[in-house]
Amino acid sequence: MGKNEELPWDLFDRCLLPVIFSHAAAVILSTILNTLYISQISTFTLFLWFVISSLGAVFFYHNLKVTAAGKTILITDCTSRIGYTTARQLDDLGFTVFAGFQDKDRGSESAKKLKKDSSGRLHILQLDVTSEKQILAAAAYVKENLPHGTSGLWAVVNSATWASFGEVEWVPFDVYKQSTDVNLLSVIRITQVFLPLVRRTKGRIINIVSILGRIASPLRSPYCTVKFGVEAFSDCLRLEMRRWGVDVIVVEPGDYTTGNTWFTDEVLLAQARDMWKSMSYEARAEYGEDYFEQSVRSLQTYTKGEETDLTPVLRSLTDAVCRTFPLSRYTSVTRSEKLQAFVADHFPRSVYDIIYT
């Protein structure tokens, strides 16, 4: 199986519980009927009847989609390939898209291209997700430019991501601060500002996280830490928004699904040079330059090879926006990543450590 081969994990997750409950109901009902001599129907026959009925209902509700006309989407960062491609796809589907670009006012080529290739419904926003002033200005612009008859936003897609690497002792504290500002605090602040507009439409907040938000990884603590935080924030917000009918969804790409989306050779080497310069003499002596270079080279798997196929991630994002009954979590991951996440979530920590560390 290729690294980026799409796997239907989300549909599998949605069908798993109905199958389990169908089996349990079949066992209980057949036992009662046989004990009371009402019927001698077998457990297997009842299971087939229950599972066909429940899966039929699941597929029916799973495939219901909302009407795109008049619905508005805010995508916070379209500078990245994921944000840019999502904006194009949702625009093609008929949504009104507000596409955020950090460098829009400086003549961003990608912003110009997106505007040129899209319909007249698409709006380009100047939006530095770490700037309070620009967040509030974007909110005012969105309110003023909602389509006629639209009361609010259907979805906010928090797509801004800044990736960095390094062992904890190597990473300058400013890197942790920047990673927190872009990946976590911006999600919280943008959600706070735009949530009233989403609540009016009983829409949805969609946060792009990562499988590293559930699985710790060496050399990735600046990224894992904040993505764990976004996962926790999303879970808390989901509980709070139930009474309002607002869905809170996390789209969880795999590390190998989007790795070279965040890293390039230039970014990797620049971060490595800055990190080595900032390390203390004692730390350099303890770790050694050979070990440092070997660690940096181990991350080059993200920058080599073919360009990442984003189809699984885009399908998850489109489903999160378009489905009438979206899942709370979409995982665009490889088989090995899914297995690792399953072990991390459902097995004792000692078992996980034996297998993966």
Per-residue model confidence as pLDDT tens digits over 21-49: 999 999 999 999 888 878 778 899 999 99
Report how far residue 332's alpha carbon sits from residue 312's, in angstroms, rounded to the nearest whole number. 6
Mean pLDDT for all residues in the chain: 87
Q: Is residue 274 part of a domain?
A: yes
pLDDT at 84: 93
Considering the domain architecture, whether residues 151 and 255 belong to the same structural domain is answered as yes
Tokens of 298: 């181990």
Considering the domain architecture, whether residues 115 and 54 belong to the same structural domain is answered as no
Considering the domain architecture, whether residues 84 and 200 belong to the same structural domain is answered as yes
Considering the domain architecture, whether residues 201 and 59 belong to the same structural domain is answered as no
Considering the domain architecture, whether residues 54 and 99 belong to the same structural domain is answered as no
Q: Is residue 263 part of a domain?
A: yes
Check whether 340 has a pLDDT greater than 90. no
Report how far residue 147's alpha carbon sits from residue 102's, in angstroms, rounded to the nearest whole number. 24
DSSP output for 143-165:
HHTPPTT--S-SEEEE-------
Report how far residue 259's alpha carbon sits from residue 94's, in angstroms, rounded to the nearest whole number. 30
pLDDT at 303: 60
Phi, psi of 197 (to 5 degrees): -70, -35
Tell me which residues are annotated as active site.
Answer: 223
Check whether 107 has a pLDDT greater than 60. no
Give the range of the structural domain holding residue 222, as residue numbers without chain letter.
72-356
Considering the domain architecture, whether residues 306 and 160 belong to the same structural domain is answered as yes
Considering the domain architecture, whether residues 36 and 86 belong to the same structural domain is answered as no
pLDDT at 2: 41
Label residue 261 by pLDDT band (50, 70, 90). low
Q: Is residue 1 part of a domain?
A: no
Flag the least confident range among 87-91, 211-215, 246-250.
211-215
Beta bridge partners of 75: 99, 157
Label residue 232 by pLDDT band (50, 70, 90). very high
**Across 274-301, average pLDDT:** 84
Label residue 94 by pLDDT band (50, 70, 90). very high
pLDDT at 38: 83
Considering the domain architecture, whether residues 191 and 125 belong to the same structural domain is answered as yes
pLDDT in tens, 41-73: 889 999 999 999 999 998 888 889 999 999 999
Q: Is residue 2 part of a domain?
A: no
Label residue 250 by pLDDT band (50, 70, 90). very high
Q: Is residue 3 part of a domain?
A: no
The answer to whether the beta carbons of residues 186 and 129 sit under 8 Å apart is yes
**Across 102-109, average pLDDT:** 67
Q: Residue 145 belongs to a domain with what CATH number?
A: 3.40.50.720
Label residue 6 by pLDDT band (50, 70, 90). very low
Check whether 76 has a pLDDT greater than 50. yes
**Across 106-119, average pLDDT:** 84
Considering the domain architecture, whether residues 59 and 109 belong to the same structural domain is answered as no
The answer to whether the beta carbons of residues 340 and 9 sit under 8 Å apart is no
Label residue 304 by pLDDT band (50, 70, 90). low
Q: Is residue 260 part of a domain?
A: yes
Check whether 5 has a pLDDT greater than 50. no
Number of domains in the chain: 2
More confident residue, 261 or 185: 185
Considering the domain architecture, whether residues 219 and 155 belong to the same structural domain is answered as yes
Considering the domain architecture, whether residues 183 and 290 belong to the same structural domain is answered as yes
The answer to whether the beta carbons of residues 340 and 255 sit under 8 Å apart is no
Q: Is residue 166 part of a domain?
A: yes
**Across 194-212, average pLDDT:** 95
Considering the domain architecture, whether residues 110 and 208 belong to the same structural domain is answered as yes
280: Cβ–Cβ under 8 A, 6 or more apart, which residues?
none
Q: Is residue 128 part of a domain?
A: yes
